[in-house]
Amino acid sequence: MQPAFNNDLFQQLLEPENLHRAWRQVKANKGAAGIDGMTIEAFPLWMQQGGWQLCKSQLERGEYQPSAVRRVEIDKPDGGKRKLGIPNVIDRVIQQAIAQILTPLFDPFFSTNSFGFRPNRNAKQAVLQVRDIIKQKRKFAVDVDLSKFFDRVNHDLLMTQLRSKVQDKRLLALIGKYLRAGVMVNGQFEASFEGVPQGGPLSPLLSNIMLDSLDKELESRGHKFARYADDFIILVKSIRAGERVLKSITQYLATKLKLAVNEQKSQVVKVGQSKFLGFTFNRGKIQWHAKTLRIFKQKMRRLTNRNWGVSMGYQLFKVRQYMQGWINYFGIANAYQGCVDLDHWIRRRIPYVLLASVAKTTD
């Protein structure tokens, strides 16, 4: 049974405390401007000049229309490009406010095997869970790669999932508008009939709501797995079992969630050949995946490039910043010798920065 206040979620959305908390979070996250060009720094003045009052009035009358998101592409941690949709600041605030209302309704019921974009859960916990499952004599991994998941989320199925816990029609209508807001690509508008663009505060929660039924299906079948957003891995005891699981889950995703599996990247392998969140696993130990090391070195080569055209101080700052973030995440691996080898490699790269700086100052 849903709480009695469920029909008043839209009013809770517009409560000053909820909106103030949403703005503080958006401000802390910083981020680029949307298609209107408004920055985080300019937003408070816009509010003071009556922008928010007009927006709130439109929301209350059901007339507010979210703007299309701005398409940008960023490098993926494991290579390739990721498409993001950057909303205007005001839409980020509203989306964050919606997420704050919906999270208490949905998150407590999510699977314990789901680790992405959730309070007090993270990627490290997902990796540690996989390691623990492997120790239960599960020597094979079903690596499942969802093909363009965020671009292909079915809106009707997602809205059905939302209605399971949300009765407030005004809130549902507003979420629907955000799903259909469209994308601006190089100045051209593209309609959005499916997908939840990455880049907005609401998208992570919506992705978990969409994939929650997958988690429940895997659990009902007794599978051991971990999921972080659209990246998930299932651990099994034999290749034959893995092949059965891959086939049945591929069919489930296609028929029940209308999601496609990338057949070229999805496979059943020994756990030592698997890849999950940048890691692999060897004899029950967490290891860096070979691709992770390759990408690290590529990034370091760019950061230590003599022709970058910035000061040595800034270059070393960026090197330290990148290395600290990398170590904070990948430091959970059991890789003593790997650390030694990486340290030697880094020390061979750093002098190039120093030599370049000396050359610049003596010109």
Task: Report the amino acid identity of residue 125.
Answer: Q
d(CA 15, CA 4): 18
Question: What confidence tier does 351 reach under pLDDT thresholds 50, 70, 90?
Answer: low
* Residue 117 placed within a domain: yes
d(CA 218, CA 249): 8
Q: What is the pLDDT of residues 142-172, one digit of tens each?
A: 999 999 999 999 999 999 999 999 999 999 9
Tell whether 245 and 303 lie within a shared domain. no
Tell whether 129 and 21 lie within a shared domain. no
Q: Cβ neighbours of residue 152 under 8 Å, at least 6 residues apart? A: 194, 195, 258, 259, 260
Q: What is the pLDDT of residues 266-277, one digit of tens each?
A: 999 999 999 999
Question: What confidence tier does 357 reach under pLDDT thresholds 50, 70, 90?
Answer: very low
Tell whether 37 and 91 lie within a shared domain. yes
Q: How many CA atoms lie within 13 A of 233 on its CB side?
A: 28
Tell whether 201 and 101 lie within a shared domain. no
What value does the mean pLDDT take over residues 180-197?
94
d(CA 319, CA 331): 17
Q: What is the pLDDT of residues 85-96, one digit of tens each?
A: 999 999 999 999
Tell whether 206 and 117 lie within a shared domain. yes
8 Å CB contact between 232 and 217: no
Q: Is the pLDDT of residue 343 over 80?
A: no
Question: How many structural domains is the chain composed of?
Answer: 3
CA R_g for the chain: 23
**Structural domain span for residue 25:** 4-109+170-176
- The angle subtended at Cα 46 by Cα 42 and Cα 51, nearest 5°, is 150
Tell whether 104 and 115 lie within a shared domain. no
* Residue 188 placed within a domain: no
Average pLDDT across the chain, whole number: 91
Which DSSP helix (H) or strand (E) runs through 102? helix 89-106
Tell whether 122 and 144 lie within a shared domain. yes
d(CA 232, CA 130): 10
Q: How many CA atoms lie within 13 A of 350 on its CB side?
A: 13
